[in-house]
Amino acid sequence: MRKPDKLLILENEVEAQVLGHALEKQEIPHLIKTYHDSAYDGLFQLQKGWGHLEAPAGFHEQILATYRELFGKEPARE
């Protein structure tokens, strides 16, 4: 099985929770990873954003459409 691709950057925990819940309701496979590291007291979150979302390539367009619908903007991407 192929590793999920990093799709978009999440700005904060609320955004991650809202999007994660919406994707679960649609039964879209995804993984949300935070950049928080207790050893560095969240330093990477200040530089990179709160975290990111990973998903299989076949679901990217559906996830991006859900993000746009929920937040009314384009997601940050690397």
Q: Which helix (H) or strand (E) holds 33?
A: strand 31-34
**How many domains does one find in the chain?**
1
User: Which residue do the tokens 């709160």 mark?
Assistant: 50
Indicate the angle between helix axes 13-25 and 60-71, nearest 10 degrees: 120
Q: What is the mean pLDDT of residues 25-32?
A: 97
Spatial separation of the C-alpha atoms in residues 16 and 54, rounded to whole Å = 12
Position 65 in a domain: yes
Q: Does 52 score more than 90 pLDDT?
A: yes
What number is the average pLDDT over the span 5-9?
Answer: 93
Q: Rounded CA gap, 51 and 33, in Å?
A: 5
Quick check: is 54 in a domain? Answer: yes
20 in a domain, yes or no? Answer: yes
Query: Within a domain: residue 59?
Result: yes
Range of the domain at 41: 5-71
Note the pTM of the prediction, 2 decimals: 0.83
Q: In the predicted model, is pLDDT for residue 69 greater than 90? A: yes
Assign residue 65 the CATH number of its domain: 3.30.70
Give residue 47's pLDDT.
59
